[in-house]
Amino acid sequence: MGLNNQWMQRDLAVLWHPCTQMKDHEKLPLIPIKRGEGVWLEDFEGKRYLDAVSSWWVNVFGHANPRINQRIKDQVDQLEHVILAGFSHQPVIELSERLVKMTPEGLTRCFYADNGSSCIEVAMKMSFHYWINRGQPDKKRFVTLSNSYHGETIAAMSVGDVPLFTETYKALLLDTIKVPSPDCYHRPEGMGWEEHSRNLFAAMEQTLAEHHETVAAVIVEPLIQGAGGMRMYHPVYLKLLREACDRYGVHLIHDEIAVGFGRTGTMFACEQAGITPDFLCLSKALTGGYLPLAACVTTDEVYSAFYDDYPTLRAFLHSHSYTGNPLACAAALATLDIFEEDNVIENNKALAQRMASATAHLADHPNVAEVRQTGMVLAIEMVKDKASKTAYPWQERRGLTVFQHALERGALLRPLGSVVYFLPPYVITPEQIDFLAEVASEGIDIATRDKVSVAVPKDFHPGFRDPG
């Protein structure tokens, strides 16, 4: 028995993995990773895999980055953790100062959580509580876009709209208002992204006009709907949304957990619309992919609604044990140093262009409906019929075929259903991008050429998107 198999068997005896049907591992080998370096992950038998999805979209400057490593090593010898209620520490103060400085004007206060879902809950609770403190308790509903995803906790699922993640738990979820997404995949023939996104805003305008008196906030994933299949839309929608939220007296929450820190081509996606949300939720790449940390950055207007004598009970009494952990803050500070010192956003433009050119040929593939890109995120959507954009039945798991082929070739590509996507660390080279394009092309050929024989139950959530 090889080392990989030994570790796999030990794992399967005790672990329950996330976002996984564990029975799959009766046939699909689990891959234990021993070490990482740069864009590469290495298993216990020396095989390497190019991490094309940044280990669930978190890693920006490579595995075992020496600069981030050293910052954490220095911090662990000084302070590993301290309660953030009534106490503070240098890394969290410095990180907050830098986030306030680098985020859009008007965002002045940082509240920390442990992960993305928790950060969304913070923003939702703050918005809801704000309106209570301002004497408008009826404003307690949230407006969200169709096909959106904001996390796995109950409130975060409530503002999501990917049935695979939410349908089972719908009895637990909040009553939210869903508005059609401005996603440009289904735009009419010949229509550009901007025109389509403008047209789709009419539904949001009508919703706010009718419901603003009971709505606390609108929450969106700006520019890219990640877990919904890397669907994309034009920045004009965000600009129109900011204007409408101001007109109707509704908060705007930007979930930039996945798209912040350069993924869309600018440091934050909201920059492309020239707007400031009331709440900016950040996580994932915030620590370079090292440690769990999230920041909900908000305004003095929101902060002041909670600032009062204790007996008024206006305080935001929300906490996490590891809020503002010094080690995570140290990793975040090192990550921001690299952004500043290495001209990352500008350098990524060339990498994004290489991703586009390396995959351009796939636009002509008979089973590819679209190759779309925003900044350092590129998605290739496989379909059964190109002309009508008819999707493959989700039960066929075509993306899983691409995933398995990529592993054989030494790449970690984890499609979202039938959507193959690149979301690599920023330290990837042009040659490595070419390799990923080659592997993806091969995998798509295999996945779309071969017929898949499956038993398809017709009565079980046919709209589900299998994450692969």
Binding annotation for pyridoxal 5'-phosphate: 116-117, 255, 320-321
Q: How far apart are the first and last CA of the chain?
A: 27
Q: Which residues are annotated as a binding site for substrate?
A: 56, 149, 284, 319, 414
Beta bridge partners of 296: 111, 281
Burial of 289 (0-12, 13-18, 19+ CB in 10 A): buried
Residue 224 backbone dihedrals phi, psi, to 5 degrees: -135, 125
Q: Which residues are annotated as a binding site?
A: 56, 116-117, 149, 255, 284, 319-321, 414
Spell out the alpha helix ranges (H) of 136-219. 154-158, 163-166, 193-211
Contacts of 417 (CB under 8 A, 6+ apart): 229, 394, 398, 399, 465, 466, 467, 468
Q: Which of 113, 379, 181 is nearest to 264 (CA)?
A: 379
Distance CA 15, CA 18 (A): 10
Beta bridge partners of 177: 143
Distance CA 462, CA 16 (A): 26
Among all chains, which residue has been given the structure tokens 């959580």? 113
DSSP for 345-389?
A: HHHHHHHHHHHHHHHGGGGG-TTEEEEEEETTEEEEEE-SBTTTT
Distance CA 7, CA 179 (A): 46
Beta bridge partners of 411: 50
Q: What share of the chain is helix, strand, coil (3-state, %, to 5)?
A: 45, 15, 40
Q: Where are the beta strands (DSSP E) in 60-155?
A: 107-113, 141-145
Q: Which of 246, 263, 180, 250 is nearest to 215 (CA)?
A: 250
